[in-house]
Amino acid sequence: MLSLYAENLLLTVGVFIILAWACYLPLLGGQLFNGPIYCAALAGYFAAYTTKTLGWPVPLGFFGGIAFAGLVSYGLAFFLAPLTMFQMSVVTIALIFIFQTTFRNLEFLGGVTGMSGIPSLDHLLPITLLAVLVFLVLLSRLYKSRWGRALEAVEVDREVSAAMGVDVNKMSQVLQTVSGAMGGLAGVIYAFNLGTIHPDVFGFGQLLYCFTIVFVGGRFTPYGPLLMAPVLWLIPEFFPSAIAEFRNIFFGAIIIVSLLTMPKGVITKRVVARVENRLKGLAGRRA
């Protein structure tokens, strides 16, 4: 049986693995889409409001939050899909701002203090671990699939890919919707785990964590977040409390050093191929 502290830590790591994957997915198609952050907030607030204020059953609030975030992301994707990488990045950061301001100003969502006393969901840890496992399998398959290669082509050259018959806008819409729903999942897990949510929870700090996890872990394979999320969340646990306030400086410095020395991150495609070859060799030797 895990202690409450260990369970919380595992859930937080799970939330950030899912959030990082939600950021990683659109990056495959060359889009710096920061939507998972505001989608997490939207889903968290939706789940909190429906279960606490409206009295919905907790599982309904859980899935409703994910669906709501996915729907909002789908709706916005119609406008965001044609944007370039820079435009997408700026507009989605602006949306983080807009949603934060909206939450701060809506009294029925608790205003600046947010909502607390959100009912808890049973078996949250197994659900989170299962979600991480399912996403790992799906993203690993996508990484090696025809779709994955099409995404890579769009990332390299959007115009050429469109000329070769890839429906770039539709692809972008699908990526944003799935990414938004994944962000939503992270948001509801967060809300049901801590029992509280406030406007500043999903902001630029969280964006920095996600960037650190994705870019330091390696943005070209899905395995980076699986390594970096636990590492980045566990390292500060060993910090003396006096230097805990330097956490963001530490994360920022890690990004800078990593981009300067390993721009493609720790787990690159070459590393994955090498590990796969070694595993195949081991399997062959056993056979």
Task: List interacting residues with another protein (CB under 8 A).
Answer: 27, 30, 32, 79, 82-87, 89-91, 93-95, 97-98, 101-102, 104-105, 204-205, 207-208, 211, 215, 219, 245-246, 248-249, 251-253, 255-256, 259-260, 263
Name which of 54 and 260 has its Cβ closer to another protein. Answer: 260
Minimum CB–partner distance for residue 248 and another protein (Å): 4
Query: Taking the CB of residue 188, how many other CB atoms lie within 10 A of it?
Result: 32
Minimum CB–partner distance for residue 281 and another protein (Å): 33
At residue 196, the 3 state secondary structure works out as: strand
For residues 188 and 44, the answer to whether their CB atoms sit within 8 Å is yes
Give the ranges where the chain is alpha helix by DSSP (H): 4-28, 35-48, 58-80, 85-105, 124-144, 146-156, 158-163, 168-194, 204-211, 217, 224-234, 247-261, 269-286
Name which of 93 and 129 has its Cβ closer to another protein. Answer: 93
Name which of 15 and 95 has its Cβ closer to another protein. Answer: 95
Distances in whole angstroms, Cα of residue 215 to Cα of each of 57, 212, 229: 38, 5, 11
Minimum CB–partner distance for residue 212 and another protein (Å): 8
For residues 210 and 95, the answer to whether their CB atoms sit within 8 Å is no
Name which of 138 and 262 has its Cβ closer to another protein. Answer: 262
Query: Taking the CB of residue 144, how many other CB atoms lie within 10 A of it?
Result: 11
Name which of 58 and 201 has its Cβ closer to another protein. Answer: 201
Name which of 137 and 243 has its Cβ closer to another protein. Answer: 243
Minimum CB–partner distance for residue 187 and another protein (Å): 20
- Contacts for 121 with CB less than 8 Å, ≥ 6 apart: 58, 59, 62, 127, 192
Minimum CB–partner distance for residue 220 and another protein (Å): 11
Minimum CB–partner distance for residue 10 and another protein (Å): 26
At residue 93, the 3 state secondary structure works out as: helix
